[in-house]
Amino acid sequence: MTYSISEVAEMMEVEPSTIRYYDQMGILPNIRRENGRRVFEDKDFKWLRVLNCMKKINMPIKKIQEYIELAQQGDASLEARYQMILEQKSIIEKEIKELQECYKEFEYKEWYYKTAMEAGTEEAVENVTSTSPTLEIDKIPNNYKKEGEKNE
């Protein structure tokens, strides 16, 4: 089956101009053309999935180009591509950890504001957290119950 640039862009959740840019930058290897139009085939999705992941993790275009150049070398570049993937995986793991910390902070803020609104004042929750300066995540008190939980 074949797909147009618009269909591929929709699947990747980007604008068609982004796909054209990727093509201009040489990061869409072996895309077939018919009458000057890019035509994507089922076999192209193997690469498009990888490209979509690289895009989502904000991998620099130069790194993506480097990966493509290595991939086009075939088996001779397996080790180099493997190392590149490990490097990116490490970056992703670090970002996930950072996002988890931010998520905890936002969970706390959700609790804080909800509790303050229910009490009608922030004074009800202000003294729950430390007043000394720290970058540690504030903790939701143990006696707090989330919606749907039962008091024990």
CATH number at residue 7: 1.10.1660.10
The answer to whether residue 46 sits within a structural domain is yes
Identify the H or E element spanning 21.
helix 16-24
Do 126 and 95 belong to one domain? yes
The vertex-120 CA angle with 117 and 122, nearest 5°, equals: 75
Domain-embedded: residue 82:
no
pLDDT recorded at residue 30: 83
pTM for the structure as a whole: 0.71
- Which pLDDT tens digits describe the chain residue by residue (152 residues)? 999 999 999 998 889 999 999 888 888 888 889 998 999 999 998 888 899 899 889 899 999 999 999 999 999 999 999 999 999 999 999 999 999 999 999 998 998 899 899 999 998 887 776 666 566 777 777 766 655 555 44
Residue span of the structural domain in which 103 resides:
89-142
Q: How many domains does the chain have?
A: 2
Nearest to 107 by CA among 134, 143, 140: 140
Helix, strand counts (H, E) of the chain: 6, 3
